[in-house]
Amino acid sequence: MLNEKEIRRWLTAKEIGGGLEIHGLLDSTNNRAKALAAAGAPHGLAVIADAQSGGRGRLGRSFFSPEHAGVYMTVILRPDCTPDRAGLLTSLAAVAAARAVEKVSGADVKIKWVNDLYLNGRKICGILTEAGQAPEGGRLDWAVVGIGINAGRMAFPEELRETATSVCNETGTAPDRNRLIAEVLNELDSLYGDLETGAFLEESRRRSNVIGRTVTVIGGGRQYSARAVDIDDRGRLVVETEEGRTCLDSGEVSLKLAGGE
């Protein structure tokens, strides 16, 4: 079971994770964190749930969140940056979560741009970043980064069986969820100072299961094939078609990889 004392036993972060709010069931940790952030909750507070009844992903998708099996958490951040720079938070969180999963499982974790983690070709984690802008000055008031990791042994609904998996399903061992939560917070804390420089993007490129592959780009009322060639210094995916190269913003499009991933 989730336990604050056990999480703190593994926690070494200096700021992120200073406050922990743990629930048995929430509709969405992002919803709870957004309400807390708007009410003035401090930077680094983490909202954690054993299960979610309305877990959400990007572009309005739902996120399967059964009890006792996953890590469902959202961290409140107060970055001193403009909204366009805050888009890097998702890339930062993906690297942090990938490091944490590898630390507790030894598995080789890949990142599907921009917000999904993959293990053996199937999804184990999704990330959803949402933000609130200050009334004046064009800066962010707050951002919340939601991270959902399929950790324990899981039986997925039929529509997810071909695309989703869990750490335990792939490795045969269920990680300690308390430690996994702590390690995610530790890695977020370690990387957060690089938000302005984007230094973590090099690791994002190295872990990418998209770069060098043909992808189907979906968004803006159209769908087309392109070759993913790079991730630029703003965290955008650079793709190439017969018309040339273009940079994709994560808030506008989604991808399908060849082979159905």
Confidence at 244, pLDDT banded by 50, 70, 90: very high
Mean pLDDT of 31-55: 95
Q: Is the pLDDT of residue 261 over 60?
A: no
Any idea where the domains of the chain sit in the sequence? 4-207, 214-257
Q: Please write the tens of the pLDDT for every residue from 143-201.
A: 999 999 999 999 999 989 999 999 999 999 999 999 999 999 999 999 999 998 999 99
For the domain spanning 4-207, the CATH number is 3.30.930.10
The CATH fold assigned to 214-257 is SH3 type barrels. (2.30.30)
Residue 259 has a pLDDT of 58
CA atoms within 13 A on the CB side of 144: 24
Residue 84 has a pLDDT of 76
Mean pLDDT of 227-233: 95
Residues 6+ away with beta carbon under 8 Å from 246: 238, 239
Please, where are the H alpha helices in the chain? 4-10, 29-38, 83-86, 88-105, 167-171, 177-192, 201-207
Q: Is the pLDDT of residue 206 over 70?
A: yes
Mean pLDDT of 101-127: 95
Tell me which DSSP letter residue 2 carries.
Answer: -
Mean pLDDT of 199-213: 96
Measured CA to CA, the distance from residue 8 to residue 5 in angstroms comes to 5
- Of residues 121 and 58, more confidence is placed in 121
Average pLDDT score over the chain: 92
Residue 65 has a pLDDT of 85
**φ, ψ of residue 53 in degrees (nearest 5):** -90, -15
Across 81-90, 97-106, 156-165, 241-250, which has the greatest mean pLDDT? 97-106
Across 24-33, 154-163, 219-228, which has the greatest mean pLDDT? 24-33
